[in-house]
Amino acid sequence: MSLPEEDLTCPICYDIFTDPVLLSCSHSFCRSCLKRCWETGLRECSVCRKRASKASPPTNLALRNVCEALLQARRTSAVVEEKMNCNVHGEKLKLFCLVDKQPICVVCQTSKLHKSHDCSPIDEAVLDCKEELALSLKNLHHKEDSLKRIHMTSADMFKYIKSQSLETQRRIKGHFEQLHQDLYREESARIAAVKKEEDEKIAGMKDKMKELSAEVLSLTETISVIQEQLNEDDLILLKNFKATQDREKSIALGSDNMSGILIDVTKHLCNLEYKVWEKMLDHIDYTPVTLDPNTAHPCIILSDDLTSLHYSKEHSCCPDNTERFHISAEVVGMAALGSGSHHWVVETGSNQDWLLGVASSSVSRNSEVSARPENGFWTLCFRDGEFRAMTSPPTAVKPTRVPKQVKVQLDYDKGTVSFFDPADDALIHAFTHTFTETLLPYFYTQSSHPLKIIPEKVLVTMLRQ
């Protein structure tokens, strides 16, 4: 229980005790006050006149602690009172400037600095600012969760990049085993390139994870600051509000764009044999389209040479990277097609459920959309024994026979995507459109029977002068 202030007052100086001492009669005095009294007279109590038994009475520790606590409370109150007053005019802070986001006095409101600004009473401003800070805190927690999720995804990328590198090296070796021993140096150079890219990708991921860790730390510190501000006195919260809010707004969520983070498998495997044709004496096959495994849905299985695909009910273990199709069983070729004419032939064989054609480079890969022109797709569909051109709505087409191969031909400049039966070059269907962005070869299937891109023969002709 706290004592009344008069019980904490020295009977001699009538002020709060300073270093109080306790006499045998149970009366207390400031040590310095008692010393002055005893220097001018008898050594007795100034209240009851009872003679003191000791020349140096003991300190009243309990009383001293209570007095020091009272003085500290007074100092704190004075500081708080000072903070509640305007630094410029000395008036009590009763208003909050909604423009400058700081507490002001009534004199400030009429000054040129705030005259045209909207203001609100302190009590209303405290509620509004607390509500706004609570929303900021919620947003920061959301950003923190997002950063942690990105951090976990980034950690998973390490293992996949390593396995990708090993698998790519295995495939490269498989290709080079078919070549003459004279190509050994070429093989070694390409494996070195994969390892170098692996090191670069992993180094990039380490930098990304360091950056994410730093952002998580900064975010945690800002959350701690806001939580401390919410526990501060109202005026202190308002004084620091703008700085606290600016700090929260300055924190930008780390980018979750993982585009290009995986090893560019196609760079090492695309048309590998064709790229070394100058070292070969015989003709080699050339595949006009190479599938990009970094875009394949987890249910799409690609062949080692990236020219064939089929559907599997079991998901493959692959990361959730930006380029990958996440909803439907799709994959695209790695080469973006722009101006000029392009074609490739796909062997459909026994596959009874497929879509072939082209897709815009910017098509959505994380949502379910129909493969139609308005969504950036120009495709031919074969399902339930029927052909349909995927227009809006789909158009039924009836070729004279069910082809085992389908030729896709794009003339970008003329704005046409055509589908033919390569056996007799009969047209199945043609789209007409004015293209405004690059296109990618597009494939979809939910069949375990493969779709295979047919290689083309390359004829090397030597010109002699």
**Could you tell me if 327 and 366 are in contact, meaning their C-beta atoms sit under 8 angstroms apart?**
yes
- Taking residues 445-454, report their average pLDDT: 96
User: Of 6, 290, 254, which Cα lies nearest the Cα of 150?
Assistant: 254
* 330 — pLDDT class (breaks 50, 70, 90): very high
Tokens of 239: 């004084």
User: Of 304, 283, 286, 330, which Cα lies nearest the Cα of 443?
Assistant: 330
**Out of 9-13, 138-142, 256-260, least confident range:** 256-260
User: Of 118, 130, 109, which Cα lies nearest the Cα of 241?
Assistant: 130
* 351 — pLDDT class (breaks 50, 70, 90): very high
For residue 198, is pLDDT > 80?
yes
Q: Is 307 exposed, middle or buried (0-12, 13-18, 19+ CB in 10 A)?
A: buried
pLDDT attached to residue 1: 46
Report the sign of the C-alpha dihedral through residues 78, 84, 87, 88, in that order: negative
Q: What angle do CA 122, 236, 245 make, to 5 degrees?
A: 90
* 45 — pLDDT class (breaks 50, 70, 90): confident
For residue 42, is pLDDT > 50?
yes
Residue 453's φ and ψ, nearest 5 degrees, are -80, 125
**Out of 63-72, 195-204, 256-265, least confident range:** 256-265
In Å, how far are 161, 214, 250 from 200, measured between CA atoms?
Answer: 11, 21, 30
3-state secondary structure at position 427: strand
For residue 237, the one-letter residue type is L
Question: What tens digit of pLDDT does each residue of 385-395 get?
Answer: 999 999 999 99
**Out of 25-34, 48-57, 293-302, least confident range:** 48-57
Q: Average per-residue pLDDT in the chain?
A: 87
How far does CA 376 lie from the centroid of its chain?
27
Integer-rounded Cα radius of gyration of the chain: 41
pLDDT attached to residue 464: 63
* 214 — pLDDT class (breaks 50, 70, 90): confident
User: Can you give the three-state secondary structure of 98-146, one letter per residue?
Assistant: CCCCEEECHHHHHCCCCCCCCEEEHHHHHHHHHHHHHHHHHHHHHHHHH
Centre a 10 Å sphere on the Cβ of residue 202 and count the other Cβ atoms it contains.
16
User: Of 207, 164, 195, 193, which Cα lies nearest the Cα of 321?
Assistant: 164
pLDDT attached to residue 257: 65
For residue 372, is pLDDT > 90?
yes
For residue 447, is pLDDT > 90?
yes
DSSP sequence for 177-243: TTS-GGGHHHHHHHHHHHHHHHHHHHHHHHHHHHHHHHHHHHHHHHHHHHHHHHTS-HHHHHHHHHH
For residue 3, is pLDDT > 70?
no
Q: How far apart are CA 136 and CA 245, in angstroms?
A: 8
pLDDT attached to residue 192: 93
**Could you tell me if 356 and 408 are in contact, meaning their C-beta atoms sit under 8 angstroms apart?**
yes
User: Of 56, 66, 58, which Cα lies nearest the Cα of 5?
Assistant: 66
Question: What tens digit of pLDDT does each residue of 395-421 get?
Answer: 999 998 899 999 999 999 999 999 999
pLDDT attached to residue 182: 65
Give the containing element (helix H, strand E) for 437. Answer: none
Q: How far apart are CA 330 and CA 79, in angstroms?
A: 68
Q: How far apart are CA 293 and CA 60, in angstroms?
A: 84
Comparing 249 with 68, the larger pLDDT belongs to 68
Topology of domain 5-82 in CATH is: Herpes Virus-1 (3.30.40)
Q: How far apart are CA 216 and CA 134, in angstroms?
A: 19
**Could you tell me if 226 and 141 are in contact, meaning their C-beta atoms sit under 8 angstroms apart?**
no
Q: Which DSSP state fits 6?
A: G
Q: How far apart are CA 390 and CA 413, in angstroms?
A: 21
* 303 — pLDDT class (breaks 50, 70, 90): very high
User: Of 381, 369, 347, 383, which Cα lies nearest the Cα of 456?
Assistant: 347
In this structure, CATH architecture of domain 280-457: Sandwich (2.60)
- Taking residues 363-373, report their average pLDDT: 90
